Amino acid sequence: MIGDKWTLLIARDLAAGPRRTMELHTGLFPISSRTLVARLRDMVKDNLIDRIDYGGNPPHIEYKLTERGRVLLPLVEALRVVGQTLDCNQCEDRKQHLGFYCEACPKNFTTPEPEPFHRPTPLPRRQQRDDSIVLL
């Protein structure tokens, strides 16, 4: 059940609240959509997540953790702490190759330093010219 690849990462992403399939797919790069859907079906069958179908066209389907699925969250947190303790460098590798950190990375929550204020340069003054019409 939890030994399947991606299961704990899906649980991690659903800890923040219900998500649509494409939101999960975006956050779990490089998972294929086929693998994600198969894993979601397995997790629904194991009663780890609920599938909520709101209907509509296009279909609006969300997934959320069940109480049984929330039992996985302390395990996910413990694995995150171990990764930080071991000073894994996957975050920096991902940032270097893809240009961004994963969604759950604590490095996403740093506050950027404000840019210094630069006073705009004034525009040059326009010279007035005489546009009067001379009548003869």
Domain of residue 44, CATH code: 1.10.10.10
Query: Could you read off the pLDDT tens digit of each residue along the chain, which spans 136 residues?
Result: 677 889 999 999 999 999 999 999 998 888 999 999 999 999 999 999 999 999 988 889 999 999 999 999 999 989 888 877 776 666 677 677 677 666 666 666 555 566 676 777 777 776 666 666 666 5
Give a yes or no: residue 21 inside a domain: yes
CA 45, chain centre distance (Å) = 26
Give a yes or no: residue 129 inside a domain: no
What pLDDT, on the 0 to 100 scale, is given for residue 130?
63
Type of residue at 82: V
Give a yes or no: residue 39 inside a domain: yes
Give a yes or no: residue 89 inside a domain: yes
Indicate yes or no: pTM above 0.95. Answer: no
Give a yes or no: residue 126 inside a domain: no
Give a yes or no: residue 133 inside a domain: no
**For 96-135, b where at least 16 C-beta lie within 10 A, e where not — what string?**
eeeeebbeeeeeeeeeeeeeeeeeeeeeeeeeeeeeeeee
> Rounded CA gap, 109 and 104, in Å?
9
> Rounded CA gap, 50 and 113, in Å?
41
Our CA angle for 37, 41, 43, nearest 5°, is 115
Give a yes or no: residue 135 inside a domain: no
Type of residue at 63: Y
7-14 and 33-45 are packed helices; what angle lies between their axes, rounded to 10 degrees? 80
* Per-residue DSSP letter, 16: T
Q: Would you say the C-alpha torsion 101, 103, 106, 107 has a positive or negative sign?
A: positive
Give a yes or no: residue 24 inside a domain: yes
User: Residue 54 sits in which domain range?
Assistant: 7-107
What pLDDT, on the 0 to 100 scale, is given for residue 112?
54
Considering its fold, how many domains does the chain have in total? 1
